[in-house]
Amino acid sequence: MPNFFVKQPDGKFAVFSTVVDDFHQMGMSKDEALEYARDEMRIRPEDIDAVFGKALQDEPFWDAPDRGDGLNRWRQAMVPLAISHGLQTVSDRLREMGLGEAAIPAEATRAAEEVRQRPRR
pTM: 0.87
pLDDT in tens, 8-19: 999 999 999 999
Tell me how far apart the alpha carbons of residues 45 and 60 are, in angstroms, rounded to a whole number: 23
Query: Nearest CA to 80 among 110, 56, 106, 111?
Result: 111
Contact (Cβ atoms closer than 8 angstroms) between residue 39 and residue 24: no
Domain ranges of the chain: 3-117
pLDDT in tens, 73-102: 999 999 999 999 999 999 999 999 999 989
